Amino acid sequence: MPDFRLTRRHLLASPLALAACGSAPSTPPLGPVSPLKDLAPCPVGVCGMSGQFDDAGWRDVVLTHFSQFTPEWEMKMEAILRPDRSLDFTLADRCADFATDNGLRLHGHALIWYSQGAEAFAGLDRKTFAADYDRYIREVVTRYRGRTVGWDVVNEAVAEDGDGLRTHHWSEGLGDIDHIRRAFDVAHEADPESILFLNDYNLENLPRKGATFLKLVERLLKAGTPLGGIGSQSHLDIDIPDGQITAFLREAGAFGLPVHVSELDASLRSDSRIDLRSAGERQARQTARVTELAQAFMALPPEQRYAFTVWGARDTDSWLRRDERDDGRDSPLLFDASGTATPLYDAVAGALASG
């Protein structure tokens, strides 16, 4: 199974480093289509960054088709936390205002992530480390209380291969489980109405990782953690076996919590040294996997469908198109560079409309 997803978090670009070119997908794009938000009985989300707000084409796609907005970068610790551990909300406020001004639900992403914050917290004694950890979460959540519907409280807690949890500065400073429970407790105290998510990736792609993630959910709930929802990023590997996505979402839904498909995309690229399949064959696999995901999501009880979110408005907005390996031809999203619907739009729209 291709494993390029496992290094995706090293590919984040600055909020202004946005790709500007693209090429046509192998199948001709669709013509004019209905707004996704009008077809779906649940919120339909998209991510974005403040550098895109003045892009008329981007705004047209987002405001036509989506009802929920996730800041891709500006509400992460990297954007808010200064080296002296003071907080700068300039960019995060822009994103919150964009959502408010345009009538979009706002989903906060992400409070605690293993890949950020190490430098600012390095060398602190445990008491100061814990106090500033709590303060960061409390101040961020409180600032957007009443504006965010939910938060990704802890992002990507499970090890890459699914063998237990990650080890990092947060777990070393506060404990592997305790830092997670603490983050949820502080966030819940700061905003009791917000739905608090544990969010991770490769849960559908790697059954071992999905199982470890769900065991963590069970452990946290049994300990009384105010975990309110399950977030599956759904950066789909198009070559996983049929039925694997459905099996994971069914198990995740068994907890009775809201489920968020939080970062959907599906790359057509292959990490195989030689891939003899035609572009059409790869696109058929892509469409089948995304259709399965959307159908499995819609099979959840209505009250558990928190939102179905895609990780980028247009192909050229995708983090996958910022990868140095990109050849300008990948089409991982629902709209192409011109804002015209791709076959993935049809896959998602058909499933969401059926609910």
pLDDT digits (tens, 9 = 90+) for 262-280: 999 999 987 766 788 888 9
The catalytically annotated residue of 72, 74, 156, 292 is 156
pLDDT of residue 94: 98
Nearest Cα residue to 3 out of 160, 115, 157 = 160
Rounded Cα distance, 341 and 307, in Å: 20
Q: Are 95 and 69 in contact (CB under 8 A)?
A: yes
Q: Each residue of 297-323: pLDDT tens digit?
A: 999 999 999 999 999 999 999 999 998
Distance separating alpha carbons of residues 201 and 345, to the nearest angstrom: 22
List the chain residues with pLDDT less than 50: 1-29
pLDDT of residue 63: 97
DSSP summary character for residue 146: T
Return the closest-CA partner of residue 96 out of 147, 39, 23.
147
Catalytic residue among 72, 204, 263, 292: 263
Exposure pattern of 37-59 as b/e (b: 16+ CB <10 Å)?
Answer: bebbebbbbbbbbbbbbebebbb
Give bridge partners of residue 158 from the DSSP assignment. Answer: 165
Q: Within a 10 A sphere around the Cβ of 317, how many other Cβ atoms? A: 29
The Cα angle at residue 148 between residues 143 and 154, in degrees rounded to 5: 85
Q: Which domains does the chain have, with CATH numbers?
A: 43-353 (3.20.20.80)
**Predicted local distance difference test score (pLDDT) of residue 21:** 35
263 labelled catalytic: yes
Peptide bond into 110 cis (omega under 30): yes
The predicted pLDDT at position 272 comes to: 67
The pTM for the full model equals 0.91
* pLDDT value for 31: 55
Whose tokens are 């489920």? That residue is 259
Q: What is the pLDDT of residue 210?
A: 98
Helix axis angle, 207-222 relative to 178-190, nearest 10°?
A: 60
From start to end of the chain, where are the E strands? 44-48, 68-71, 105-113, 148-155, 195-200, 229-232, 235-236, 259-266, 305-310
Can you read off the two tokens belonging to residue 100? Answer: 């408010």
